[in-house]
Amino acid sequence: MLNIISMENKILGLHHITAIASDAQRNYNFYTKVLGFRLVKKTVNFDDPGTYHFYYGDETGTPGSILTFFPWEGIQKGRAGTGMATEISYSVPKGSLDFWTKRFQENNVKYQPVIERFGERYLPFEDRDGLLLNLVETGESDNRKPWTIPGIGISEAAKGFHSTVLTVKNSAPTIKVVTDVLGYNLHSQEANRYRFVTDAIASANIIDLVEEPNGHTGSNAGGTNHHIAFRVKDDSLLKEFREKVLKAGLQITEKIDRNYFYSMYFREPGGILFELATDNPGFAIDETVEELGTHLMLPAQYERSRKKIEEILPVLQP
C-alpha cells in the first residue's frame, strides 16, 4: 500500500499535449478519420471563444491519450525548433507499422521510412499542418484499450501517448526540472538525445530531451505544439507541485479550473510551456460517455453568448 501511495503522489506521466492547427474541419477529419481517434470534447478556447478547442483521445479521454488543438483558422505555418516540444509519439501494437504505412499512402499522409530509437521502431509522419508525429511499436506490453473505428481494429489502433520530444539549446537546466521537479529519471542516451522515464506509471511515461546548441528557435504557430501537460492524481496535489516549482526558482500560475481538469502553468528554463493537470473531474461531467464530443460545450462564462459564438465558429461536418 505504501508503494501505491508514493506512486500516486508522483507525476503520472503525460496528461495531454496541446497543438495549433489552421483549419478545424481538416484537423477533425485527419484525427478522427485517418488516425481513428475519438473526439471526446468539442469546446472553445477559454481565452478566445471564437476558436474551437478539440480534444482527441480514447473512449473517455483517459489522461495520457489526449491530444488537443486550437484550430485558429488560416494561421500561418509555424516551425518546430528549440524551446518547444517538437514531436509527439503514439504507442501502437507490434507488427502494425506496415498497416499504417499503407494507410498513410492511401490517405496522402506525408511520412518517412521507419527508423529505430532506443531499440524501438518508429514510423515518423506529419498531420495536415506539418505537426511532427510518430507511431511506435512498443517493446513492452501496453494494455490500454484504444478507440477503434471501421478499418482500424484493436491490432492496429493507437493506444495513447508513448512519449514526446523536448528540444532545447542547453539541456542541463531543463534536465534539472524534469528530474528534480517532475521526478523523471535518466534511462538512456543516444548521441544528443536523452531519454527520461518515470516509474510512477507504465505508459505515456517517457520524455526524450534533444540538445541542439546551434538549433534554430521554434516559431509557435500552425503545425507546432503549444504546451505539454503532466498528469497529477487530483487538485489536492497541485499545491505540492506548485511549491516544488517555486522552490526551483520558477514562476507558476495559481490553480485554474479548466472544467475537465485543474491546471497550473509554468515555463521551464529552455522556454517550453509546461502544465500540470489533474485526472479529476474528467470529460463526462457535462456529456454522457456515449455522447462525448457530439455537442458544443461552452465554459459557463460564455454560455450567455452561445448564439454569437456558434455563428462565428466554422460549421463542423461529421
Convert the pLDDT of each residue in 63-88 to its tens digit: 999 999 999 999 999 999 999 999 99
61 contacts 41 by C-beta, under 8 angstroms: yes
Q: Rounded to two decimals, what is the model's pTM?
A: 0.96
- Check residue 2 and give its pLDDT: 36
Residue-wise pLDDT tens digits, 189-228: 999 999 999 999 999 999 999 999 999 999 999 999 999 9
- Supply 7's cell numbers: 506512486
- Cis ω for the linkage preceding 281 (within 30 of 0): yes
- Check residue 7 and give its pLDDT: 59
What is the Cα–Cα distance from 45 to 70, expressed in whole angstroms?
7
**Any residues with CB less than 8 A from the CB of 217 and at least 6 apart, and which?**
81, 82, 83
Task: Write the single-letter amino acid at 5.
Answer: I
What is the Cα–Cα distance from 16 to 86, expressed in whole angstroms?
14
Is the pLDDT at 4 greater than 50, yes or no?
no
Residue-wise pLDDT tens digits, 126-136: 999 999 999 99
Is the pLDDT at 138 greater than 50, yes or no?
yes
Q: Hey, is 155 helix, strand or coil? A: coil
CATH superfamily of 2-312: 2,3-Dihydroxybiphenyl 1,2-Dioxygenase, domain 1 (3.10.180.10)
What is the Cα–Cα distance from 90 to 152, expressed in whole angstroms?
15
What is the Cα–Cα distance from 177 to 245, expressed in whole angstroms?
8
Return the closest-CA partner of residue 198 out of 161, 248, 167, 227. 161
223 contacts 180 by C-beta, under 8 angstroms: no
Is the pLDDT at 3 greater than 80, yes or no?
no
Domain ranges of the chain: 2-312
Confidence category of residue 8, pLDDT binned at 50, 70, 90: low
